[in-house]
Amino acid sequence: MFFYFKKNMEKVSLKKNSASNSLLEENILDWNLVQESFEKSFGSEIYSSWLKSISLLKEYNDHVILGVKTRFFRDWITSRYADKILGELKKHKISITRLEFKIEPDKSNSKNLFSNLQDNKVSEIKNSILNYNRLNPNLNFDNFVVGQSNNLCFLSAKKICSQLSRYNPLFIYGGVGLGKTHLLNAIGLELSKNNTVMFISAERFMYQFIKSIKKNEMVKFKDFFRKANVFIIDDIQFIRGKEGLQEEFFHTFNSLFDRSSQIVISSDRAPNKLDRVQDRIKSRFSGGLVVDIGNPDYELKLKILKKKIIEFENSFKEYPNLNESVIDFLAKDSNSNIRELIGVFNRIVAFSKMSKKQLSVNDCKIILKDVYKNSKITTIEKIQNVTSNFYSISLEEMLSQRRSRPLARPRQIAMYLAKKLTTRSLPEIGRKFANRDHTTVIHAVKTIDKLCLNSEEIKKNVEEIKSIILSD
């Protein structure tokens, strides 16, 4: 009995030792070499902005602990580069299976911050306002084509130019390629005649924010962005999930609002649909004038195409060889946004010039088969209905937040087919699926692509659903 107990205790002890051995430090990594591989793999810009400051804190047999400066850095690196960083580390040490990031502020920088401010040695943000105001003189009110879907946005934009701060902020939202940036640019051009205008994308704002943190230039950053009479920021949805950036933007917004500066914002969704954005920020957005810009209808697309023909004539001193039936086809038979429509027009004109003939509608259908194939009947709504019927579930169940396999798989297939059979963007598809994020759509597409390779049943089901959609 004693022998048995002793033997079992030895087994337990061996297991504990084995478990602890996996956590023993095994210093193999040469961090200088690792950093060199980061720079080669990610490129010098990403490396210098995000990865150069990463330090190696602890190295174990199967994982490493890396140090980063702030929570914002940790969240940003984890969401975008963690998998690739792990892959690079495995090249140097194959046993590594996971990463941990620990916030470790740069003490030397924090010590120098106060003295820098005291001595007024904080370097100025070198770029002048003009460098940030990348206003395009061609994107003005005069060449913005107005239709039923965008008339309210257009009138609102014109109104704030004549009555500054009457509607503050002006929040314009809508899908990709519908003219939001054009309107913001037009507002900036109009108001820059008599005002200090700051026109910047949310991504650029974030980049400058990070740069200022790294260089201890936050005082200059705040002063720089809060002195404008007109502050225009494009694609504000970019701040979703970035807590540090949202905090700074909130205070910038309040500072501008308090001094009656006009604020203009664009987004791909309404303020209340901006998930992972602080409620207080969404409340500020909703407190002004909120207008949406819809998909172009037939009349608007026809006006845009005729305008492009005039522009072509003026530029090349010749008429694009397109008859009325072709122009009507381009305007009527597509679900394209404005940007895609212009791309389609350019393709047809190019083919017409190269072939030196006037193209027929049938010619256009062949040239544009990737864009126009079944465009009349293939909508996201139809894909959703066909898929839910195929799996004998309700549409409400498929769009719900439930993640059980019988509901999640049809939902992923519907997202997959929406990406394959329509010209809708990832954010647009996500919104049609109960306002899911575009990353969810990406995951669904990758999952179904993989399953179609490995599962004959899934592949067969997808093809059958696709056939039903396209046959109606």
Q: Which CATH architecture has domain 380-471?
A: Orthogonal Bundle (1.10)
State which fold the 31-103 domain adopts: GMP Synthetase; Chain A, domain 3 (3.30.300)
Contacts for 379 with CB less than 8 Å, ≥ 6 apart = 335, 422
Contacts for 347 with CB less than 8 Å, ≥ 6 apart = 367, 368
pTM here is: 0.53
Of 60, 98, 103, 104, nearest in space to 82 by CA: 98
Task: State how far Cα 385 lies from the chain centre.
Answer: 28
Axis crossing angle, helix 324-332 with helix 338-355, rounded to the nearest 10: 150
Residue 161: CA count within 13 A, CB half-sphere: 19
Question: What is residue 105's three-state secondary structure?
Answer: coil
Which residues of the chain form CATH 1.10.1750.10? 380-471
State which fold the 298-372 domain adopts: Helicase, Ruva Protein; domain 3 (1.10.8)
Which residues of the chain form CATH 3.30.300.180? 31-103
Q: Compute the distance between CA of residue 15 and CA of residue 128 in angstroms, rounded to an integer.
A: 64
State which fold the 129-292 domain adopts: Rossmann fold (3.40.50)
pLDDT string in tens for the chain (472-residue length):
444 444 444 444 444 444 444 445 556 788 888 888 888 888 877 887 778 888 888 888 888 889 887 776 787 788 778 888 888 888 888 888 888 888 875 444 434 433 333 333 333 334 434 345 568 888 888 888 888 888 899 999 999 888 887 888 999 998 888 888 899 999 998 988 888 888 888 888 888 888 888 888 888 888 888 888 899 999 999 888 888 889 989 998 998 998 889 999 999 888 988 888 899 999 999 888 999 888 888 888 888 888 888 887 777 766 777 888 888 888 876 666 788 888 888 888 888 888 777 777 777 877 777 666 544 557 888 899 899 888 888 888 888 888 888 888 999 999 999 888 887 788 889 898 988 888 899 999 999 999 988 888 888 889 888 888 876 5
